[in-house]
Chain A
C-alpha cells in the first residue's frame, strides 16, 4: 500500500526555521519525482517545490525561493523541506505527493508561524 507520512511541523516564530520530512513506502520512491504542496487555513492548495527522482533538479515557487530547500534521501525513502526565514504567510498544512500522478496524499503536517 502506498503511503506518505509528513512530519516536522509545529509552531515557530517569524524568522525561524523548520525541517519537514516525508517518509514514503509502498512504491519505488527513488524512481519518482516528488512535490511539496501547502494549504493555508481556509485557502486553496498551493504548489511549493519539486525535486527530480535522483535529486539533481529542484524547483521552487517564487513565494519560497531562496528560503526553502527541497532534498531527498533515496536510501531512506524520505523527502525533506528545509524552511528558513519563515513568515506568517507560510502558515499552512504541508503535503508531500508523488509528482506527475498526485495520487496519494498524506495527512500533512501543520506549520504555524506566529509570535
Chain B
C-alpha cells in the first residue's frame, strides 16, 4: 500500500498568519492516465470531510482562495495564506492513484 506521511501532525497558528502542511507518498502518484490523484480534505470538528483540493492544485467550488495546493509525484503541500478561525480542524491528504486509496494521518490545525 502507498504510505502517505503528513507533517506536522499538529499545527498551532496565529490568526492571520500562513500555514503549510506537507504530504509525502511512498511512491509516485502519477496515474497511467496522466493525472495525479492527490486530494486534500478538511474535517472541521464534528463534521464530515470536505474536499478542498483535487489533482494536486485544483480548488473546489466555494473554497476560499487562501487555500492552495502544489507539488508533484511524491511531494505535496497545502498552504493557507492567512489562517482564519473557521480553518480549525484536521486536514488530510489522500491518494486516489493506487489501490487501495490511502490517507495521511491528518494534521490538526488550531489557533494559537
Residue contact B101 to A47, C-beta cutoff 8 Å: yes
Residue contact A47 to B100, C-beta cutoff 8 Å: yes
Q: Select A103's contact among B51, B103, B105, beta carbons within 8 Å.
A: B51
Residue contact A102 to B94, C-beta cutoff 8 Å: yes
Q: Is the interface of B mostly helix, strand, loop or mixed?
A: loop
Cα distance A59–B96 when bound, in Å? 14
Q: Select A44's contact among B39, B51, B106, beta carbons within 8 Å.
A: B106
Residue contact B100 to A44, C-beta cutoff 8 Å: no
Q: How far is the CB of B7 from chain A (nearest CB, A)?
A: 14
Residue contact A47 to B102, C-beta cutoff 8 Å: yes
State which of A11-19, A20-28, A76-84, A105-113 sits at the interface with chain B: A105-113
Q: What is the number of residues of chain A that contact chain B, defined by CB distance less than 8 Å? A: 19
Measured between beta carbons, the chain A residues less than 8 angstroms from B102 are 47
Measured between beta carbons, the chain A residues less than 8 angstroms from B100 are 47, 59, 61-62
Residue contact A45 to B50, C-beta cutoff 8 Å: no
Residue contact B54 to A45, C-beta cutoff 8 Å: no
Task: Using A100-B96, A102-B39 as known contacts, say yes or no to A46 and B103 having CB atoms under 8 A apart.
Answer: yes
A-B contact count (CB 8 A): 44
Q: How far is the CB of A85 from chain B (nearest CB, A)?
A: 20
Cα distance A73–B60 when bound, in Å? 29
Cα distance A35–B49 when bound, in Å? 14
B104 on interface, CB distance cutoff 8 Å: yes
Cα distance A101–B94 when bound, in Å? 11
Residue contact A103 to B92, C-beta cutoff 8 Å: no
Measured between beta carbons, the chain A residues less than 8 angstroms from B39 are 102
Residue contact B37 to A45, C-beta cutoff 8 Å: no
Cα distance A73–B46 when bound, in Å? 30
Other contacts beyond A45-B92, A105-B51: 16, CB < 8 A:
A35-B101, A44-B103, A44-B104, A44-B105, A45-B106, A47-B102, A47-B103, A61-B100, A62-B100, A95-B49, A100-B96, A101-B54, A102-B54, A102-B94, A105-B48, A108-B48
